[in-house]
Amino acid sequence: MARDGDSGLIAEIRSRQADPERPILRSTAGDLTFADIAAADRIDLSAIAPGDVVALVGDFDPRSIAALLGLIDRKAILVPLTSETKADHAYFHEAAAVNAVIEGGEVTRKSQSGLDNPMLARLRDAGHAGLVLFSSGTTGRPKAILHDLELFLARFRTPREALVTLSFLLFDHIGGINTLLHTLFNNGQVVVPSRRTAEAVAADILAHGVELLPTTPTFLRMLLIGGLVPRLAGGSLRVITYGTERMDEPTLGRLCAGLPDIDLRQTYGMSELGILRVKSEARDSLFMKVGGEGVETRIRDADNVLEIRAAGRMLGYLNAPSPFAADGWYDTRDVVEARGEFIRVVGRTSEVINVGGRKILPGEIERAALLHPAVALAKAMAGANPITGEHIEVRVQLREGASVTRQELSAHFRGLLPEGLRPHRVVFETVEVGHRFKRL
């Protein structure tokens, strides 16, 4: 039963539950209703004051969810973390000016510099809760991204359909937090995967009647490589959304062929801009329309880079200069191709390979590599060259049990790519994938 005197978000969400006894969270630990969450053995938050910057190390479990909602009610500035990033927690604490940590049910106060940051002061003066998320750190140390949680929460108060959703994106990711809050506010259901492996996720989808799988292109490739896609056809799964990194056409084509009755939707966004609304041109197309209320887009003529201005954007970085222009536009660094009102991301400015003055994006090279049946993952990049400055290198990870020679792969590239796009060096090694299932 819910506790007498509950107020704030727990009371608000409980009032929206059509059936508070319906499981809202399903995991190997058992089913949990919102009544269970409301009645959970909660962490004592009495030591947390409004404006405190609190690192909450947790997951999608009752105590973590209740603590998250309680911290928002106390107008704290929340820093959600997971055990997977434990090695980086000291850096995260310093970057976000954390002065309290909740881990293992215990609250620990700590001294910290940086609490006078003007953006933190702005939230305190407004009496608003905050949210700090970290960038993936693929191009340098992760940046501490600060949001006003009052603005972030506003979108969830409009009722929307909630599907049975697998919580693939983690507790420390904007997509994971979005999934959780959307589910709570709309009486939905979240399935926590038993393990974040392709085999386990496929089994969990079938066992729990999952309707929505939000994931990454890299993880979808793993499903294909493992021969797991046929298991998902004709079952409960209705929608797969993919984002956080660029999708390639071979992977999308194989998914469309293997899952003909499932809606495949591209997502687009970054923690700096909040949640953006995206419409795919078609399930088999990489073209999409980015927009929504309070969102403007434009393409910079000089280099075809997408720029976005969004009302729900972050307040700024706590540990880096603001990336916004004076008039509010944000350089996404994504190079895009336009087709009417739809766009397709073809690369990032940081990935450009400069071969003797010719600027090359790695996407087309990776697409060609992935068309070879022996290749599981591929990443093209620049290598140093004393004559041209840079040359094209491609790192390939082979499917388990597959074999191919460099000579065979070179012939494969010659058959698919013009001379200027052919790799000068092929390296056989593991393509690293981070804890968020993005290529590093």
Of 124, 153, 182, at which residue does a domain stop?
153
pLDDT over 70 percentage in the chain: 96
145 and 78 within one domain: yes
Let me know if residue 238 belongs to a domain. Answer: no
pLDDT score of 310: 94
Q: What is the pLDDT of residues 368-425, one digit of tens each?
A: 999 999 999 999 999 999 888 999 999 999 998 999 999 999 999 999 999 989 999 9
77 and 109 within one domain: yes
Q: Read off the amino acid at residue 236.
A: S
* Calpha distance 209→167 (Å, rounded): 13
311 and 361 within one domain: no
Decide: pTM greater than 0.85. Answer: no
Query: What is the rounded average pLDDT of the residues 15-38?
Result: 81
Residue 109 pLDDT exceeds 60: yes
334 and 423 within one domain: no
Let me know if residue 36 belongs to a domain. Answer: yes
pLDDT, greater one: 279 or 357 = 279
Q: What is the pLDDT of residues 179-213, one digit of tens each?
A: 889 888 888 899 989 888 999 999 999 999 999 99
CA distances to 17, 104, 214, 288, 337 from 277, in Å: 25, 36, 14, 10, 19
138 and 119 within one domain: yes
Which among 399, 394, 431 has a CA at the least distance from the CA of 416?
Answer: 394
25 and 130 within one domain: yes
Let me know if residue 219 belongs to a domain. Answer: no
Total domains present in the chain: 3
413 and 288 within one domain: no
309 and 403 within one domain: no
The answer to whether 273 and 294 are in contact (CB under 8 A) is no
Residue 345 belongs to a domain with what CATH number?
2.30.38.10
Residue 157 pLDDT exceeds 80: yes
Question: Which residues, listed in sequence order, are joined to residue 357 by a DSSP beta bridge?
Answer: none
Residue 154 pLDDT exceeds 50: yes
pLDDT score of 146: 97
Let me know if residue 375 belongs to a domain. Answer: yes
Residue 33 belongs to a domain with what CATH number?
3.40.50.980
Let me know if residue 77 belongs to a domain. Answer: yes
Residue 5 pLDDT exceeds 60: no
The answer to whether 67 and 42 are in contact (CB under 8 A) is yes
318 and 407 within one domain: no
322 and 410 within one domain: no
Let me know if residue 262 belongs to a domain. Answer: no
Residue 1 pLDDT exceeds 70: no
Q: Give the number of C-alpha atoms closer than 13 A to the C-alpha of residue 201, restricted to the C-beta side.
A: 24
* Calpha distance 354→360 (Å, rounded): 6
pLDDT score of 65: 87
Residues 6+ positions from 119 with CB-CB distance below 8 Å = 146, 315, 316, 318
Of 137, 153, 169, at which residue does a domain stop?
153
DSSP symbol at 429: S
pLDDT score of 2: 44
Let me know if residue 399 belongs to a domain. Answer: yes
pLDDT score of 138: 58
Of 293, 324, 349, at which residue does a domain stop?
349
- b/e map 301-336, b = 16+ CB within 10 Å: eeebbbbbbbebbbbbbbbeeebbeeeebbebbbbb
Residue 366 belongs to a domain with what CATH number?
3.30.300.30
397 and 363 within one domain: yes
The residue segments making up the domain with residue 341 are 284-349
Let me know if residue 177 belongs to a domain. Answer: no
Biggest CA–CA distance in the chain, Å, is 75
pLDDT score of 137: 61
38 and 148 within one domain: yes
pLDDT score of 6: 57
Q: CA Rg, the chain, in Å?
A: 23
| pLDDT classification of 59: cutoffs 50, 70, 90 | confident
CA distances to 174, 262, 341 from 268, in Å: 12, 19, 15
